[in-house]
Amino acid sequence: MSDSSPPIPPWRHRLSLAGSIFLGAIFLVAAWAKTLNPGSLADQITREGLDFLLPAGVVALIALALEYFLGSALVLGLRRRVVLWPTAALVVFFLFLTGRTYVRSLQGIEPEDASCGCFGNLVQRTPAEAFWQDLFLMVPALLLAFLALRGGLPRVRTAIAVAVTLAMTLLAWRAPHLPLDDVATSLKPGVDIASLCIEGSSGSDVCLDGIVPELSEGEHVVVLTELDDELIAHVDDLNDFYWTAEAPALWVLTGASEEELFQFRFTQGPTFELREAPKPLLQRMWRQAPRSFEVSDGEVTRTWSGLPPLDALRSAESQDSAAVPSATTR
Amino acid sequence: MFKCPYRQLFVLLLLGLAISWPAAAEVDSVFSAFRPNGDYLFELDGEAVSDATLYFSDRARAYLIVGPALGSPLLIHPRSGVVEKISLMKVQKNEDGSIDLLADASFDQVGKFRLDGLSLLFDYKGQQAVVRPKPALVGMQSATALRDFKPEYAAEADAYAPSSAALQALAGQGRDVTVRVFLGTWCPVCGRTVPKVIKTEEALAGLGGSNIQFEYYGLPRNISEDPVAAEMKINGVPTVVVLTGEREIGRIDGRDLHSPETALRELLDS
């Protein structure tokens, strides 16, 4: 096929290879940022209305597989039509999505999710940043990759790309069931609660320590949750814990609407402190609700998938207060 | 229907008696410590009952509605959905504004409530009773208006003791300063912090006044809808904007409002 074409000068090969590796690396980083939290990608797919043929979870896995295959193929220098044309289509599609969000933000229509573009919740970008970064990083690299198209598909490199794709897609499929919350989200031991922020509508940050300023001092347990059946099943436990004098102060944060909160209050009678938090902020801190963590003087000290071990926390505090007479009182 | 012109007066008298009744009577171990809750309003047949006050008890996990127009106080049990009435004589109001029911109070079931969106509805004496969230107090407000709107604000303000050293320093500072407090009456953090600002304002007035003028500006739940908030780039509440003339010299957010007088003093000193 390319035999009759004039030979490609070496500089074009080098530039093409550099563009290919750079673009492939972007795809791999973007895919990795979403691999450990495919549920968040599925939510984004639902919001974008891209689940019209298949369930959002399946679309998310297909999208990740495609990104991994194209990313690893490009990094391995597979500059073939079968790789580059789907890559071009994907770049155009990403630009369409980020461009649409950017235009909406310029029109004052807020994006529902603070996470913009293709990097999941670990990488926070404004709509403008997402669009311009995608445009200036991906398009030149793509054009460079097209400078020196090659023929045929080398078996070994293709096999490596397929193997990477299968392995990473399998990881993404199983990731929600693996104890990787601390790796996959911004909430992990050692984090200062003041650093858990999203960009607010007027440009300044909305941070966890602004929603619960009380966390800055003393010992606290925070539950991030939906107002769902699991929470309802544990309302009594949480109420009891809240009123245990020796236990750390309990805060329950939810992204529920005003109506959902009203209905919850008048059907469940919670007596613990229930506060609203923006959903995008919660999505930075969880893969699946509920998730909980312990805070000491504004720093996250422990995290738990699900609700906290209330009995263990209570008994630990009781022992501490027996040893030290100055027990925490509410 | 026959309406006794003295009915309300009689109920008020009973309420007064109940409130001033000697506290020797035994208090119910569960149905006690009802504290005023200004988050909701009570309506009968579509008319807001302005003199009805809603209380909530953490211990009882129940709401209590008390007011002359009701006659008997009403108890709302969230878990069971039951509404009961209690004899007014079995209600004891405490000095701190809380309410206890007496141990020998009897509960007569009125019916069951139902929830519809942001409304809790039940039938009471042939009328439709509704509990719904109070609309947010928006726009420029006075401290008195905030105290009246949210009884919790009054209780929190009364309980707060500002640092006298910080107050003295604020009272003695010479600049004309405006402290504009952006708040949401729906916001829990504001409920903890704005009363402290109110108390700081009152304490400064008690010291003979100062050059500091306090303004309170209520915002709706969707803050960005408010043009003043948009103009001032208010992203969250509470936010205190400190101005000299029209020039903004700094802001204090909820994180530093656990001691507003100290935060204000530090800002003015900086």
pTM metric for this prediction: 0.80
User: Would you call A6 helix, strand, or coil by DSSP?
Assistant: coil
The pLDDT of residue A8: 77
| Residue A110 banded pLDDT, cuts 50, 70, 90 | low
| H helix or E strand, kind and range, residue A222 | strand A219-225
Whether A42 has a pLDDT exceeding 80, the answer reads yes
pLDDT digits (tens, 9 = 90+) for A46-87: 988 888 999 999 999 999 999 999 999 999 988 888 888 999
CB contact under 8 A, B118 and A203: no
**Distance (Å, rounded) from C-alpha A311 to C-alpha A297?**
22
B230 reaches A (C-beta below 8 A): yes
| Contact residues on chain B for A110, CB-CB shorter than 8 A | 224
Phi, psi dihedrals of residue A285, rounded to the nearest 5°:
-110, -10
CB contact under 8 A, A239 and B113: no
Contacts of A218 (CB under 8 A, 6+ apart): A248, A249, A296, A297, A328
**Distance (Å, rounded) from C-alpha A78 to C-alpha A70?**
9
Nearest Cα neighbor of B138 from B187, B75, B91 is B187
**Residue among A213, A258, A263 minimizing CB distance to B255:** A213
pLDDT digits (tens, 9 = 90+) for A142-175: 888 887 777 778 899 999 999 999 999 999 999 9
| Residue A35 banded pLDDT, cuts 50, 70, 90 | very high
B133 reaches A (C-beta below 8 A): yes
The question of ipTM being above 0.85 is answered as no
User: Would you call B224 helix, strand, or coil by DSSP?
Assistant: helix
Do residues A210 and A290 make contact, with C-beta atoms less than 8 angstroms apart?
A: no
**Residue among B115, B234, B258 minimizing CB distance to A266:** B115
Whether A123 has a pLDDT exceeding 60, the answer reads no
**Distance (Å, rounded) from C-alpha B233 to C-alpha B225?**
12
| Contact residues on chain A for B253, CB-CB shorter than 8 A | 210
| Contact residues on chain A for B118, CB-CB shorter than 8 A | 258-259, 262
| Contact residues on chain A for B223, CB-CB shorter than 8 A | 201
In B200-246, DSSP assigns E strands to 212-218, 239-244
Please give the structure tokens belonging to residue A183: 């790796």
The pLDDT of residue A117: 42
pLDDT digits (tens, 9 = 90+) for A206-222: 889 989 999 999 999 99
| Residue A116 banded pLDDT, cuts 50, 70, 90 | very low
| Contact residues on chain A for B235, CB-CB shorter than 8 A | 200-206
Whether A118 has a pLDDT exceeding 60, the answer reads no
pLDDT digits (tens, 9 = 90+) for B61-114: 999 999 988 889 999 999 999 999 999 889 999 988 899 999 999 999 999 999
DSSP B151: H
How many Å from the N-terminal Cα to the C-terminal Cα in chain B?
A: 68
Sign of the alpha-carbon torsion through B129, B132, B137, B143: positive
Instruction: State the nearest Cα–Cα gap between B7 and chain A, in angstroms.
Output: 31
Q: Nearest chain B residue to A208 by CA: give it.
A: B255
Nearest Cα neighbor of A123 from A316, A307, A283 is A283
Per CB distance under 8 Å, which residues of A are interface residues toward B? 110, 194, 200-206, 209-214, 216, 239, 243, 258-259, 262-263, 265-269, 271, 273, 275
Q: Give me the tens of pLDDT residue by residue for chain B, a chain 270 residues long.
A: 444 556 666 666 555 555 555 455 788 888 999 999 999 999 999 999 988 999 999 889 999 999 988 889 999 999 999 999 999 889 999 988 899 999 999 999 999 999 999 999 999 999 999 999 999 999 999 999 999 999 889 989 999 999 999 999 999 988 899 999 999 999 989 999 999 999 999 999 988 878 899 999 999 988 888 999 988 888 888 999 999 988 999 999 888 898 999 999 999 988
